Amino acid sequence: MTRAYSVALMLFVLMFGALFAATSHAWADDGDTAAADRTETSATSPENEPAGLSVLVTPVARQSVDHRVTATGTVAAWREMPIGAEISGLAVIAVDADEGDRVKKGQRLAKLNDALLKAQLAQQKAAIAEAEAALANSQSDLDRANRMSKGILSEQTKDERATLVKTNAAKLDAAKAQLDQLQAQLDQTEILSPTDAVVADRSITLGQVVSSGNELFRLIRDGRLEVAARIAEADLAAVQPGQTVSVIGPSGGRYEGKIRLVAERVDEATRLGTAYVALPPGTPLKMGMFARVEIETGSQVAIAVPQKALVWRDGKAGAFVVEEDGRVVFTPVTITRQAGDAVEISQGLELGQRIVVNGAGLLSDGDRVRAKLAAAGEAEGITP
């Protein structure tokens, strides 16, 4: 009996140990699961979520926006004058002006060979002297005939002498007219500038035989240049003659100009008008150069944001608005116009909203950010 009791006691101890081990393992599993749940909950709570990218923000506000019309155009002459020969068949013996030269009114540009004309002029002067002598002789004969007593010379003879006087007088007039013509042709052998100008082009060369009407030089009257600026029809009403404008050349140099004329006609195909901007004397811009024109047309108080605050998503312009929870929302906007570094907005943003002005290009809709208010000068395009 003692042996049977010992065996039963041993079996009881073994069963109790197995039950205790199983229970302890279950408690350990429950504890691990609870700890994991607590860890996951803590990791996903808003308080422990990483804050994200640091960005500069600025509040949306109304600003004084300068309105500016921007246009492009080509530098051209205020008045171009083609200069040609008025006489044909003569060779060029001197060229006195070249491209870029400034010339005065009456200054010689070129000289044609005048040797033949000078010889003809001398001959014509001799012919005039001969005609004058013939007229004088015939007039003397007529005077003597008129002084003679009646009956000595017939009336027919007197009439013949009177007719000869008239004929010789007509020949003298014709000779003088021929002399004037030759003198005019001689004058035409000197190609002169009709006004103060700058030589824009020279097509004449030494030895060239000119023809009447052929262009030899092209002059810019008074050396004045202007820009024919092409302006959108919507902006034409704000552009007026006399306005001072900025002209920007291909190299970036800025020059002050003044609107001389706004054309009445708008191109039906391009819907562009033309404003002619007079350039100051001595400008380094040349004919044919590309130029940009900026015309300040006033200012207006409107909602404006820095240009760098705008980003493009799916072809639409917008800004990232920072919400109260620190997340950003892409908000499409309607752009009215650009004024320097600022952009005028007509729709999409409300006063007081905070928008990202630095780092917007790195953001996506819904990102969490650490927002810092931009200091003066950091939010370019906004004028307090």
Q: How confident is the model at residue 151 (pLDDT cuts 50, 70, 90)?
A: low
Asked if the structure places residue 295 within a domain, the reply is no
Q: What is the pLDDT of residue 308?
A: 87
Asked if the structure places residue 70 within a domain, the reply is no
Residue 348's domain is classified under what CATH number? Answer: 2.40.420.20
Q: How many domains is the chain built from? A: 2
The per-residue pLDDT for range 254-272, each reduced to its tens digit, is 999 999 999 999 999 999 9
Pick the last residue of a domain from 130, 165, 188. 188
For residues 218 and 77, the answer to whether their CB atoms sit within 8 Å is no
The overall average pLDDT reported for the chain is 83
Asked if the structure places residue 218 within a domain, the reply is no
Pick the last residue of a domain from 188, 219, 248. 188
Q: Are residues 122 and 58 in the same domain?
A: no
Asked if the structure places residue 353 within a domain, the reply is yes
Residue 158's domain is classified under what CATH number? Answer: 1.10.287
Asked if the structure places residue 26 within a domain, the reply is no
How far does Cα 38 stand from its chain's mean position?
A: 68
The per-residue pLDDT for range 10-63, each reduced to its tens digit, is 545 455 454 444 444 443 444 444 444 444 444 444 455 555 788 899 999 888
For residues 291 and 285, the answer to whether their CB atoms sit within 8 Å is yes
Q: Are residues 362 and 305 in the same domain?
A: yes
Asked if the structure places residue 329 within a domain, the reply is yes
Q: Which residues constitute the domain of residue 307?
A: 53-65+301-373
pLDDT greater at residue 191 or residue 37:
191
Element (H, E) at 176: helix 155-187
Q: How confident is the model at residue 150 (pLDDT cuts 50, 70, 90)?
A: low
Query: DSSP secondary structure string, 274-340?
Result: EEEEEPPTT-S--TT-EEEEEEEEEEEEEEEEEGGG-EEETTEEEEEEE-TTSBEEEEE-EEEEEET
pTM to 2 decimals?
A: 0.56
Asked if the structure places residue 320 within a domain, the reply is yes
Pick the last residue of a domain from 160, 188, 216. 188
Q: What is the pLDDT of residue 221?
A: 92
Asked if the structure places residue 314 within a domain, the reply is yes
